[in-house]
Structure 1
């Protein structure tokens, strides 16, 4: 009888330890999933703004020559800001900075009327 009366405490402690371990694992998985979701969301928003900036710049310069080009320094959207910097030739370096400080860069090439031939 003496051995059986003291077995409840170690079993309870072991059960609490396993429960805590399981709960910690679930919380860590949830945090990782939320981080990946936010990263994916930011990437898609940045790519959308890059695509829209490219469309806007291409359309604005469609009927212009290289000397008449009009490249904006920045385009401001509700989701963030697109900074444009002229590179060499027809290349434009575009950097997207979202509202939560996520940023991505890309390059746009424009074909001007005088460069078609």
Structure 2
């Protein structure tokens, strides 16, 4: 029977983060927007999109929120329990870091994404 993805892990520069079981990966590439005129759709317009990753990190006494917010030029790997893995090159945290209920939401982007 085929195993379906149920959870994923995240490593930053080789260190596994204490994360929630799921994360959201947008592989980036090109988004397309329809262009319409008086008689309907005339075509589409392409816009380049950077890859993004959203993770929820657990807060502990050793978690440095300021250090998390300063991460840039990192190697970020996300791997699923089915063995599928992606590497976000020269990754950086895109938004300010907030803690809520013991959880820290980290939004990442990077210069490219590779399937491992």
TM bracket (short chain): under 0.3
Give the structure-2-normalised TM-score.
Answer: 0.26
More helix as a share of residues = 1
More strand as a share of residues = 2
Q: Which has the higher contact order (CA 8 A, sep 6+)?
A: 2
